[in-house]
Amino acid sequence: MDPNLHLDDTWLDTFTKLRMTAFGQTVIDIANNADYDEWTFSQKIAFALDKEVTARAERRVEKLLKASRSPHPDACVEDIDYRPDRNLSRELTTRLGSCQWVAKASNVIILGKSSVGKTYLALALLNAACRRDYTARFFRTDDLAAQLAVMDYHDPKRLQFVTQITTTDLLVLDDFLTTPISPDTANMLFNILSAREGRGSTLVTSQFNPEEWYTSMADKVVAESLLNRLVGGAEIISLDGPNMRLSPTMVR
């Protein structure tokens, strides 16, 4: 080994090829900064490794959020508005943000009139799940139904798509049953929720109470079974308050 060897930015490509970019950049920075001269070798390596671990965790979260198809990946529980008339407490969101309910494959239902911030809360909890290394997918319920409707039942892509939905740790269905759905769509939702029972969490937002969802489905047997799968044991949150879309700090 050359005794005159010195780490500089020309070494960064080597670290990047080894998929240790953050570690390499930190090592290079340490080697070129006198502030670290008094650090022991172990301290320097531990510091660089910590930077690499943090960077990998951040990349993992970014990957999970991208895969979730969240329309607002920056939504987070830290930015939620707790004005008194919202019927929402910091204690509640902190508890839900810990994602123990996702670990237990439990469901959450967020109810409230239009524009009270149901979707933002749902996306903030999705963000929290991704930060804890859970997989997630977000759909507007009508969009999910439309996507499945145009796929041939025997198309391998449809099977792959449904498998992704049923196996994700957290499935978020926004605007759940706000309009009547066809028997085929009701059966599709029932099959998805049945497959997810005990293996994944489902979070839905809706303007209507579960009792009113029956009116959106013609087959009352399917409706009863679907609601039992979704509502049974679920935590129900009823949001209230002003139109959050008029808030200068966005919908929260």
- The pLDDT value recorded for residue 251 is 45
Query: What Å distances lie between residue 195 and 69, 154, 155, 198, 234, CA to CA?
Result: 21, 18, 19, 8, 17
**201 CB burial (10 A radius; 0-12, 13-18, 19+):** buried
**33 CB burial (10 A radius; 0-12, 13-18, 19+):** exposed
- pLDDT higher than threshold 80 for residue 144: yes
- The pLDDT value recorded for residue 245 is 63
Inter-residue contact 200 to 170 (CB < 8 Å): yes
- The pLDDT value recorded for residue 1 is 55
pLDDT digits (tens, 9 = 90+) for 60-105: 989 999 999 999 999 999 888 888 788 888 999 999 999 999 999 9
> Do β-strands 201-206 and 136-140 pair in parallel, antiparallel, or remain unpaired?
unpaired
Give the global pTM.
0.79
Which of the given ranges, 99-113, 143-157, 187-201, 228-242, has the highest pLDDT on average?
99-113
Strand blocks (E) in 119-174: 136-140, 170-174
Inter-residue contact 251 to 112 (CB < 8 Å): no
Kindly list the domain boundaries of the chain, sorted by start residue: 9-67, 70-246
- pLDDT higher than threshold 80 for residue 11: no
Q: What percent of the chain has pLDDT over 90?
A: 31
Q: Give the whole-angstrom CA distance, residue 199 versus residue 95.
A: 21
Name the pLDDT band for 250 (thresholds 50, 70, 90): very low
- The pLDDT value recorded for residue 8 is 67
237 phi and psi, to 5 degrees?
Answer: -115, 125
pLDDT digits (tens, 9 = 90+) for 21-56: 777 788 788 888 888 888 888 888 888 888 877 778
CATH code 3.40.50.300 for 70-246: yes
